[in-house]
Amino acid sequence: MNATQTDLQIPLHSFMRRGPITVTETDTIQDAVEKMTENHLSALPVIDDDGSLKGILTVSDMLRLIQDAERTLDCDMAIYDESYLVVDLIRECLGSDEVATVMSNATVTAEQNDCLQEVAKMMVKHQVHHVPVINHDKKLLGIVSATDYVRFVAEMG
């Protein structure tokens, strides 16, 4: 890998994706899934009307909830046709639910002056793939994903 120590000290404000696509707590899972599929995303920051970060909604959150429901109902997921897409399953099981019922708290966040290496270490430590970037008032500024890091390293060499 050619990433130098200097490259890893780049502040997030020059690396993060600004103005990420978001949802609110009262949006439906159906709305969130549409945004995710249209934009090829696996996570959406959840904000309030003032743009403050309230949490994050990930595909993993939705699948975990479906899996928990399957155990509770003692039903067999094999009843679904092999061609049944995960997106369809999420829509059917959770579509009308509000984002607030499924989202995770955004316990791992970064600030725009944090460096790439610090945030990468946080992602590994907390086993997350997306880190919202906020200011001191918890206003969402951007987001960084594991894919962003892979792209960064790939473009270096």
**pLDDT tens sequence across 46-60:** 999 999 999 999 988
Place 73 in a pLDDT band, splitting at 50, 70 and 90: very low
- Lookup: tokens for 94: 């959770």
CA–CA dist 39, 156 (Å, integer): 25
**With contact defined as beta carbons under 8 Å apart, do 156 and 3 qualify?**
yes
The values of phi and psi at residue 102, to 5°, are -120, -30
Top CATH class of 7-156 equals alpha beta
pLDDT in tens, 109-146: 999 999 999 999 999 999 999 999 999 999 999 999 99
Where are the domains positioned within the chain?
A: 7-156
pLDDT at 74 over 50: no
Cα(19)–Cα(28) distance, integer angstroms: 21
Mean pLDDT of the chain: 84
Q: What is the pLDDT of residue 44?
A: 97
